[in-house]
Amino acid sequence: MNRTLPDRVRKGRRLAQGAEVVAGGVHFRVWAPTHRKVELLLGDDAKSRSLNPEGDGYWSAMVDGIAVGTRYRYRLDGEGDGLPDPASRFLPEGPHGPSEVVDPRSFAWTDLAWTGLPLHGEVIYELHVGTFSPEGNWAGATRKLVALKELGVTVIELMPVAEFPGRFGWGYDGVAWFAPCRLYGTPDDFRGFVDQAHALGIGVILDVVYNHFGPDGNYLERFSPHYCSTRTTEWGRGLNFDGEHSAPVRTLVTDNAAYWIDEFHLDGLRIDATQNLHDRSPDHIVAALTRQARAVAGGRRLLIIGENSSQDTNLLRSTEVGGCGLDALWNDDFHHSARVALTGRRQAYYGDYHGTSNEWLAAAKHGFIFQGQRSTWQKKRRGRSTRGLPPAAFVGYLENHDQVANSLWSTRVWQESSPGCHRAMTALLCLGPWTPLLFQGQEWNSSAPFYYFADQKPELAKLVREGRIEFMSQFAGCAAGAGRDLLPNPASPDLFEASRLRWDERELPSHERALRLHRDLLALRRTDTTLSGYGRAGVSLEAAALTPTCGILRYFVDGPAAGARSEDRVLVVNLGPDLDLEGPAEPLLSPPAEPGHTAWRMLWCSEDPRYGGSGCAEPESEDRGWRLPGFAAVLLGPMVRV
């Protein structure tokens, strides 16, 4: 039996669209403003029931006697066999198949005491569910959570999981934003992963893509041509956030952001390519979705991160001053400078960087390196001032999904740099003032590449391959001849399988040493009160370059509780040969001011043989003065004179 949903009940829906289990049945609602008739096709017999127009482009009906798990479609104007729901909560047969009724309230959560994530002190771990574990699903990923806890991870950042076509993919071509991909399991399997992560004290955030829809399986424009705008992105048409009939489009996005927080207990979002969210309205869509996500979280603390190639720090400013209220932004500046320092290669967008110590120290001190200077690569000014923003608002990394894939062989950075320099830069990543991010397997120097892979139908697969060749042509090795011919085909299942982590590597000596390095560094970051205290009152930071390859960070601790300077820390990162100084010539190496603390002692060294190094002597001695070890990082603390 169908009946029109009373207005007071309709307003109590969790989402503006979709099938929702409510008292008395299942309520269906969809936005199809340009159609004369919308029918609901239920079950295998596809028996039709008409939806009722609400007068604002939405159609709805309450239907009794429907069980959870029932499959359904919508038919528009009496034509065809029906289309999946634009707000499907599950598509068990993929984006071209029927939608399935899901009741999110049936899952038995155990995380009611979980309070969410503060920005300060987090360590993020990015992973792709399909390649993270041997099983490539939620169950396999859940079994690896203890390993991440032991590593020192506090936040898992999932690459996109919204439904996409094919047998494998990165997820950035998602077409059903509310449906967790069937390749990884059921929605409740996803909930179980989050629940177990919370039980271990690990938060979970999700990469979401609101700048375009994927090219295959996107039926939203069949329901309304108003979903997309005339503006394009590098991946296709952008969304209509500020044009005619844009209100339901904005609601789709803000509902989706709130949906993941509410129904999956996620701890935040990473918003992909915010520079392509074109919106001239007074309430920018990023601010709107952030506000909605925080509202539905109640008292839980969320971590909402943006990717923005323009480095627009207005995204981080409070909405009260016209910003968007994000907590953090990915920092490509640090990655690019560090990678040039480690590999010496300055192709394409790396050409703006020299990899010198003053660059990566500027990233440590100020967040972004580019804050309005002209970018030679982009041929325009890039970035805005970071003044007044906390250091943790910048996410630093040596690897992420994009940057590993953006080379001819999609190799890891440790394979392109010397072991000593890589260990030293890893120390800077883990002990620096930013929020560090590790990419899956980075902690044990995984040998698995991470290719760009996407399983598409043949005509699209050809276009994807051509697009990949065009993008990669900016790098000299891929620009012509053999390089173009050697670029692997993203549609190949072999690329997907080659990208899967090889967990048994962790037991091999060289990989076990790399794992110990990362564990020890993250433990230092967590337990050393000075390092963990930076960004709060009483701990400040200064930085200086000694040479183009050697730099110093000194954490100053003030106030009576600190015993003046007795808890200062100095991190020296030297990517060049041994460096001799005539006494502590550099002011940041001057002895602590507290009487009785007149020298430095080594607290940690990247050349420890346990990490594969050759050993490291104390940097200061009576007979030779100061000698900073080459191709190494050392952490120093005050020596107490007895």
pLDDT at 2 over 60: no
Inter-residue contact 176 to 95 (CB < 8 Å): yes
Q: Which residues pair with 639 in a beta bridge?
A: 599
pLDDT at 61 over 90: yes
What is the mean pLDDT of the segment spanning 289-296? 97
Does the annotation count 359 as an active-site position?
Answer: no
- Sign of the Cα torsion 629, 631, 632, 636 reads positive
Q: Is 432 exposed, middle or buried (0-12, 13-18, 19+ CB in 10 A)?
A: buried
Give the lowest-confidence range in 122-131, 215-224, 406-415, 527-536.
Answer: 527-536
The share of the chain scoring above pLDDT 90, in percent, equals: 83
Inter-residue contact 593 to 564 (CB < 8 Å): yes
pLDDT digits (tens, 9 = 90+) for 420-468: 999 999 999 999 999 999 999 999 999 999 999 999 999 999 999 999 9
96 DSSP 8-state letter: T
Inter-residue contact 429 to 638 (CB < 8 Å): no
Confidence of residue 231 (pLDDT cuts 50, 70, 90): confident
Structure tokens at 433: 């003032």
What is the mean pLDDT of the segment spanning 135-140? 98
Active-site option among 122, 272, 332, 620: 272
Domains delineated in the chain: 2-104 (2.60.40.10), 124-208+252-273+283-456+500-523 (3.20.20.80), 532-640 (2.60.40)
Higher pLDDT pick, 481 / 65: 65
Structure tokens at 343: 């590999």
Catalogue the E-assigned strands of 416-567.
Answer: 435-439, 539-547, 550-557
pLDDT at 563 over 70: no
pLDDT digits (tens, 9 = 90+) for 308-336: 999 999 999 999 999 999 999 999 999 99
- Please state, as a whole number, how many other Cβ atoms lie within 10 Å of the Cβ of residue 554: 21
Does the annotation count 188 as an active-site position?
Answer: no
**Which residue pairs from 103-109 have beta carbons closer than 8 angstroms and sit at least 24 positions apart in sequence?**
103/21, 103/68, 104/187, 104/191, 104/263, 105/21, 106/68, 106/188, 107/188, 107/191, 107/192, 107/195, 109/191, 109/195, 109/265
The identity of residue 228, as a single letter, is C
Active-site option among 307, 327, 568, 607: 307
Inter-residue contact 566 to 591 (CB < 8 Å): no
pTM for this entry? 0.96
